[in-house]
A and B are shown apart, each in its own frame.
Chain A
Amino acid sequence: MTPSRRFIALWLLLPALLGAILATALDPRALPFTGHEQISAVFLLDGQAYFGHLEDVPWSGTITLRDVYYFEDARKVTTDLPLALVKRGNELHQPADAMRIRRDKVLVVERVNLDSAVGLAIAAQRALDRVAK
């Protein structure tokens, strides 16, 4: 292989190939500073579901959720739906920080569509929070 061919292979083709592989593996919306919010739904083995900003560090035994919301039974309330979305933080112990969940208790982690009922309710909550400030 002549030096010019080696240069092309090493500095052009190889990075292009690596870039192509990474592009298929990565979700562009998942990259930081892209302006897309990522809300994750974390379903636990016991059936509970939590929604929020997920931090998943591979070497940690826990995953971390921030800005957490969860479902509450609303069958006794006259709402359109028999369940309601509640923001975590108003419980008796008033959790102040993020929620750490043991990794082995997690059943499924999914991305929440921002146009879904949960996504819209969270966005509306933020709009109301701004009004309150």
Chain B
Amino acid sequence: MNDVVRIPRRTLLVATGALVAVLLALALVMTGVIARAADATTVANATVVKTQQAAAERDVERAYEQAVEQVRKVRALNLAITAAQADAITLKALNDLKALRHSGLVKLGQVLGVSDAEAYATTTEQAFDKAPVSAQPAPTPVLLAPRLYAIAAKMSELATQLSDQATTSLTAPAATPTPTVAPSPTRTPTPTARP
């Protein structure tokens, strides 16, 4: 004799409803809908941004100092060009590098949201002129935020270009007087074969 299990209709409805709710919740979790809706994002506080700013300033300054050092080292060599020419090339390169550092720091100030980026750049330059990065102890390494890294990378690239350009100009061979075309002696008439 078979036993018949009777499930009340109400229980069946409640169980079905619960199953649908669980499946719906699972679907929402698994498809990442809930994760995206509830996704928290961490934004750095002022201390972290300050640390990043200091690191980015150091990187810009380091690029400048390395390029300046390269130009000065090459200038100190015994060069083939005249001293006046070498001084002119060096002065131009150093001025270009200063202008590059300034624009790098201005850009940094803009990215950081500094109200007066020009004044910020000037103040930072003066501080680094007094206490260069190369003379300071090695800081705790900082992994830069991509926006700040982009500035440091561009600064490095352009500073290297400027110093390499100056190096090429300084180490160019001295200009020797180009030989002028000497008047050729009048051609002696070649004897023609006589018949």
Contact = CB atoms under 8 A, between A and B. Distances in A.
Place the interface of chain B in its size category: 35 or more
Contacts of B44: 120, 123-124, 126-127
Contacts of B86: none
A2 interface: no
A125 B147 contact: yes
Contact of A81 (B43, B63, B143): B143
A119 B152 CA distance: 20
Contact of B111 (A69, A81, A132): A132
B145 A121 contact: yes
Given A37-B41, A84-B153, A85-B143, A128 B111 contact: yes
Interface in B135-185: 139-149, 152-153, 155-157, 160
A121 B34 contact: no
A74 B112 contact: no
A124 B38 CA distance: 21
A33 B38 CA distance: 5
B84 interface: no
A121 B31 CA distance: 28
Chain A interface mostly helix, strand, loop or mixed? mixed
Interface in B13-35: 29-32, 34-35
A109 to B, nearest CB: 15
Interface string A90-118: 00000000000000000000000010011
Candidate in B49, B51, B112 with the most chain A CB atoms within 10 angstroms: B49
Interface string A58-75: 110000101101000010
A55 B31 CA distance: 8
Contact of A78 (B39, B142, B145, B152): B152
Chain B interface mostly helix, strand, loop or mixed? helix
Given A118-B143, A121-B143, A53 B59 contact: no
A126 B44 CA distance: 7
A132 B155 CA distance: 20
Given A74-B149, A120-B44, A126-B43, A79 B144 contact: yes
A6 interface: no
B39 A37 contact: yes
A77 B111 contact: no
Contacts of B113: 128, 131
A130 interface: yes
9 contacts: A66-B36, A69-B146, A76-B157, A85-B149, A118-B143, A120-B51, A122-B145, A127-B49, A128-B112
Interface of A: 32-37, 53, 55, 57-59, 64, 66-67, 69, 74, 76-81, 83-87, 114, 117-132
Given A35-B40, A55-B35, 8 more contacts: A32-B37, A37-B42, A77-B149, A80-B55, A80-B140, A87-B146, A119-B42, A124-B48
Q: Which 9 A-B pairs have the closest CB atoms?
A: A32-B38, A131-B113, A55-B32, A80-B141, A123-B44, A124-B145, A117-B143, A78-B62, A125-B145
